[in-house]
Structure 1
Amino acid sequence: MNKPLNLLTRWTRGRLLAFALLAALLTFGAGACQKSAPEDAHAHDGASTYYTCPMHPQIVRDEPGKCPICTMDLVKATKQAAKPTASTQSVTASSAALTHYMCPMHPQISREQPGKCPICSMDLVKATKAAAAAPTPSGAAAAPEVMLSAQQRQLAGIRVAALGGVGSPAGTASGTTVLTGTVTADANQTRTVSSRVAGRVERLFVRQTGEAIRAGAPLVSIYSEQLQALQQEYVLSLAQQRAVGPGGNQYGRLVASARQKLRLLGLTEGQLRTLAATGRPTASLTFYSPQAGLVQAVGVTEGQYVGEGTLLVSLTNLSSVWVEAQLYPEEVAGVEMGQSVQVQVAGLPDAYTGRVVFLSPERQANSKVTLLRVQVPNPGGRLQPGMQANVRLSMSSRGNTATAQTLTLPQDAVLRDSRGSYVWQQVDAAGRFRRLKVTTGAETDETVAITGGLAAGAQVVVSGAYLLESEYALYQGTDPMAGMDPNMKM
């Protein structure tokens, strides 16, 4: 009886011993993990070279090894310089540009000596980064700066000019304002032929738009019973007047009245003379073109019944056309009626000279623009409605004295983002450039007016500003470590 009891006791003791060993191992591991983070975070502040885990940067060791968390091999790294104190910030802010080496793929990796990136093993490249600018007396942060060597400026094609300098690209307002427009038919050269009687279209002499029509050419022939009755009235009045002789004044008034009715219906003097000579009314009335031009629209078909006022044919004369463009509010004040402008039509090599004939006194619906209309002679008929055109308004002829004296910069010198407009100013001959925010005014196809943020005579980058902006974005604006604690170990 005692033997089974002894076996049960041994088995129970073995299980308890195994549980005790497992609990001891878990307690030891947890304690090790809890100690490693605070120890590694501060125990090696004095070391310039250390080893760290790429996945767990809080793990720092003085010698190579493996990460106690993920067992990855530790990589060699160099601790960055300590964060400057408040007493040394002003000295650091005014120091010269700092040359360092960084990874093209990981800009947060910065070293004082050449080497390889601890993350991707790429060779570090040499870079120049301007020191942080000191705060202004008002407490606002100073404008960011970039330092370029003479060789870098030459390779980048950096060109500087004085704002407002005589003969320089950064001078006073000049050039032209280019407006996008569309060629349209001149409404003063458009005629509409409508039916003056009710009847049926017997014959249609024009059937397609764009067809060239001479003045006096037949357009549409309409059969009308009303027309026949009025013609018969006119013929009878003439016969009675002839029968009575010179003394029949009352018949003379009837003849004049019947004649006037037929003229109002559209009969020409030649048709009336023929009717008076033959005495036979015609069954149809033919409408003729009042001018030479192109058929713009055909509103009827043969056999169709029409009423009075129905559109028959629309004609337009393209000896002159309109170019309609849009103006912004700040550009309206400089436009004068009758002003001469240059019009360039897409696809045509020659420029056309026109004049401003209309400037709308109100803005177009749901927009901030107003309509400008230019009349352009078109003797050869090459300009056709629907063509796209550019209207060039000369700044010198707009009569705006205030605008003419505004300081301007080339379009390429002004950079824009969602927060505003910026330019790059050269600070000194050593190659230090400062990024300044400016306010802009009226623009042309070549220049931008500067209304604030930059004084006359300032040395402004007029060529290569985009390269400076890229340099700034690469080494300062897009640095993932910007604004982070420089003492944080990688």
Structure 2
Amino acid sequence: MKKYIIYIGILIAGVLLGWLLSGGSSSNEKEHNHTTTATKKMWTCSMHPQIMQPEAGDCPICGMDLIPAEAWAEGLAANQFKLTKNAMALANVQTTVVGNAKSTDGVITLSGKIAENEQSNAVQVSYFAGRIERLYVNFTGEKINKGQLLATVYSPELVKAQQELLTAVSLKESQPALYKAVRNKLKLWKLSENQINQIEKTSKVKENFPVYAMVSGTVSEKLVEQGDYVSQGQALLKIANLSSVWANFDVYENQISNFKLGQQISITTNAYPNETFKAKVSFIDPILNPETRTVIVRAVLKNSNQKFKPGMFVTGKVAAKQAAAEEELSIPATSVLWTGKRSVVYVKPESEKPVFEMREVILGKKVGENYQITKGLNSGEEIVTNGVFTIDASAQLQGKKSMMNHTKEIVTSFTVPEKFKEQLQKAYNSYIDLKDALVKTDADAAKTRAENLQKDLALVDMKLLTDEEAHQQWMQLIHRLKSSSTEIAKTTDVAVQRTYFKTLSDNFITAVQFFGINEVTYKQYCPMADSDKGAYWLSKEKQVLNPYFGDMMLKCGEVKETINSN
């Protein structure tokens, strides 16, 4: 009996031991599965999405706490990436649906300026030498009428001529030819018959002679001041007759065929937003400006009510002639990025989702502020029209195909003359000096160095670029470079300087990548700059010295790219 009890006890013990072993195994399996699941969870940095780590911690770039990777990061195509709603709002991303050129480009829109009608302008001169005793014109812009007293002039020559006249009067009967010659001499100095007769009648010599306006108009420039000595024939005033003015428009060479003399043009201006003024093309410049690749198209506007002021910006619209334009798609120029001779846009595949992808396109003619598309887009597709550079930067940060992280693709296929590179190199050195001043948070030095940069940019000769696309690319860049450097030079507020330095850097990076300089440079990036939106700059050294924060966060940033463009 005892033997059976022992066997039963051993059996129970075995079952219990098996259950324990089974339970323990199940527990271990669950623990293993949990560990495996936990291992699959990845952590990333909100500022550096390219960072992916299997566990929580600090970002190796900026030191911020890592956060769980978003589930939406998976399932996208290799060339697609996604932005958060907050990032979309900060970048002010705007999109538009690609439409046919006929609806948006049935007319060509031109930008222009009001100028004086040179055919109606005049120059008031002094017809005799002397000193201006009194000047009655007080300021530029003053209106004058024909015959109005402008100045009185003391002229020793005229005093002598009057004395000759009085002597000739006494010899009038015996030497009439001499008398007539002396009177004619005074008439050549624009003295009137009445003035000459008055001298004869009073037998008095006038020391100060009046100068009267020969035409009516508006003083556009004062060339002398009271007390100045003037010579015979010297200009005193420039007088503009503003009863009619010119509207000068810049027309690109690929648009010239759309214009002819006598063609009607509709003109508007911000000064009178509810009015449209009709005019006709009166002149098409026969010479192309080699710097801007444009010609001037001019219309004459009647201006009896003085609405148009010289220097005022105006917009002109004319009908486009090309029938082919109706069959081609059109996109805003703001949506295009250039990588050498390649043009790219960012497409939003699904309207309701903030997902984007880069697309290469082939551009046709530029019509107004739009480009015609010959290949790469279809009608109805949605593209980014504002915030394109920010979208491109986001693509780069997420390791996706972008304009800035494919240096081999943006190497220029046009030839850049060595002299142009040397001129750009000098401007680059001034840019580096400006960057160094901002690293030291020295606003006064930054202002001075921005002024130096302006001078160096002005010396970059765009006429050296014989390739048309290279020329057009530089035309876009130089305007932005000059604008941002000018704003930096206007202020000693270092915060404002750093704001414009971001724009300056973005465009200088593009300039260096497209046209090249004769040394290696490093494109660096700080994710915390520009209110955590991130900003780039160029440096001659790999070491990061942050121009957006200076001593506050001197080492914040990383080298994003080494540009070896020589």
Same fold (TM over 0.5): yes
Asked if 1:174 is matched to 2:101, the reply is no
Alignment equivalent of 1:389, drawn from 309, 313, 331: 313
Residues 1:466 and 1:477: Cα distance change in structure 2 (over 3 Å): farther
Give how far 1:289 is off. 0.9
Instruction: Provide closer, same or farther for how the CA distance between residues 170 and 211 of structure 1 changes in structure 2, counting only shifts above 3 A.
Output: closer
Residue type of the alignment partner of 2:184: Q
Displacement of 1:218 after TM fit?
0.5
CA shift, 1:184, in A, is 2.9
- How many residue pairs get aligned? The number is 348
1:245-260 equivalences in 2 (<5 Å): 251=176, 253-260=177-184
2:132/2:154 contact within 8 Å kept = yes
2:300 aligned residue: 375
Residue 265 and residue 464 in structure 1: after superposition, are their counterparts in 2 closer, same or farther (change >3 A)?
Answer: closer
Equivalence for 1:294:
218
Alignment correspondent of 1:55: none
How far the C-alpha of 1:307 sits from its partner, in A, is 1.8
Q: Is the 8 A contact 2:346 2:384 kept in 1?
A: no
Q: Secondary structure at the match of 2:380?
A: strand
Match for 1:313 among 219, 226, 237?
237
Q: 1:188 aligns with which of 114, 119, 141?
A: 119
**Is the contact made by 1:178 and 1:444 (CA closer than 8 Å) also made in structure 2?**
no
Q: Structure 2 unaligned runs (5+)? A: 1-28, 58-64, 83-92, 402-566
The runs of 5 or more residues in structure 1 that have no matched partner are 1-48, 52-60, 65-73, 80-100, 133-143, 148-155, 245-249, 483-490
After superposition, the Cα gap between the structure-2 partners of 1:425 and 1:131, relative to the gap in structure 1 and judged at 3 Å, is: closer
Question: What corresponds to 1:208 in structure 2?
Answer: 139
Confirm whether residue 129 of structure 1 aligns to residue 54 of structure 2.
Answer: no
Structure 1 pair 356/171, CA: closer, same or farther in 2 (3 Å)? Answer: closer
Q: Give the corresponding residue for 2:330.
A: 409
Alpha-carbon distance change, 401 to 145 in structure 1, aligned in 2, over 3 angstroms: same
- Asked if structure 2 preserves the Cα contact closer than 8 Å seen for 1:324 and 1:371, the reply is yes
Instruction: Give 1:313 deviation, angstroms.
Output: 2.5
Letter in 1 for 2:231: G
User: For residue 356 of structure 1, what is the aligned residue in structure 2?
Assistant: 281
Question: Which of 141, 150, 156 does residue 225 from structure 1 map onto?
Answer: 156
Match of 1:443 among 366, 369, 380: 366
Alignment partner of 1:329 out of 249, 253, 258: 253
Over aligned residue pairs, what C-alpha RMSD do you find?
4.7
Are the counterparts in 2 of residues 203 and 220 from structure 1 also a CA contact under 8 Å?
yes
Q: How far, CA to CA, are the matches of 2:218 and 2:391 in structure 1? A: 60
Higher relative strand content:
1
3-state SS, counterpart of residue 391 of structure 1: strand
Deviation at 1:462, TM superposition (A): 4.0
Deviations 1:227-261 (A, max 9, x none): 233334445555544x36xxxxx72x444433332
Alpha-carbon shift at residue 264 of structure 1 (Å): 1.5
Give, as a single letter, the amino acid of the residue that structure 1 aligns with 2:139. Q
Secondary structure in 1 matching 2:39 = strand
Q: Secondary structure at the match of 2:286?
A: strand
Measure the CA separation in 2 of the matches of 1:442 and 1:481. Answer: 30
Residue 268 to residue 340, structure 1, CA distance change in 2 (3 Å): farther
Distance 1:405 1:228, change over 3 A: same
Matched-pair contact (CA < 8 Å) for 1:201–1:306: yes
Deviation of 1:449 after TM superposition, in Å, equals: 1.0
Following the alignment from structure 1 to structure 2, what is the Cα–Cα distance between the partners of residues 366 and 159? 32
8 Å Cα contact 1:318/1:381 also seen in 2: yes
Deviation at 1:389, TM superposition (A): 0.3
Aligned to 1:199: 130
**Alpha-carbon separation, structure 2, partners of 1:196 and 1:182:** 35
Name the SS for the 2:128 alignment partner: coil
Q: Secondary structure at the match of 1:337?
A: coil
Q: Kindly indicate whether the alpha-carbon contact (under 8 Å) linking 1:210 and 1:296 is maintained by their aligned counterparts in 2.
A: yes
The aligned amino acid for 2:119 is: N
1 CA distance for matches of 2:137 and 2:130?
18
Change (3 A) 1:338 1:471: closer
More helix by share: 2
> Take 1:228 and 1:109, find their aligned partners in 2: how far apart are those partners?
92
1:421 partner SS: strand
Distance 1:173 1:271, change over 3 A: same
Give the TM-score normalised by structure 2: 0.50
SS in 2 for 1:300: coil
Cα distance in 1, alignment partners of residues 349 and 102 from structure 2: 14
| Contact kept? 1:352, 1:376, Cα under 8 Å | no
Q: What SS class does the counterpart of residue 362 from structure 1 fall into? A: coil
Q: Tell me, in whole angstroms, the C-alpha distance in 2 between the residues paired with 1:367 and 1:160.
A: 31
Structure 1 pair 171–416 and aligned structure 2 pair: CA distance change class (3 A): farther
Alignment of structure 1 residues 464-479 onto 2, 5 Å: 478-479=397-398
Asked if 2 retains the 8 angstrom alpha-carbon contact of 1:172 and 1:405, the reply is: no
Q: How far apart, in 2, do the equivalents of 1:481 and 1:425 lie?
A: 15
Amino acid aligned to 1:305: Y
Q: Distance in 1 between matches of 2:118 and 2:309?
A: 14
Q: Compare CA radii of gyration and give the structure with the larger one.
A: 1
1:272 aligned residue (196, 202, 206): 196
Question: What secondary structure, in the 3-state scheme, does the structure 2 residue paired with 1:361 have?
Answer: coil
Between 1 and 2, higher relative CO (CA 8 Å, sep ≥ 6) is seen in 1
Relative to 1, partners in 2 of residues 1:388 and 1:210: Cα closer, same or farther, differing over 3 Å?
A: closer
Contact 1:342/1:351 (8 A) holds in 2: no
For residues 30 and 186 of structure 2, the distance between their equivalents in structure 1, rounded to whole angstroms, comes to 110
Note the 1:96-175 alignment, pairs <5 A: 105=46, 122-127=67-72, 129-130=75-76, 164=100, 173-175=105-107
**Residues in 2 aligned to 1:392 and 1:465: alpha-carbon distance in whole angstroms:** 23
The 1:348–1:290 alpha-carbon spacing in structure 2 relative to 1, beyond 3 Å, is: same
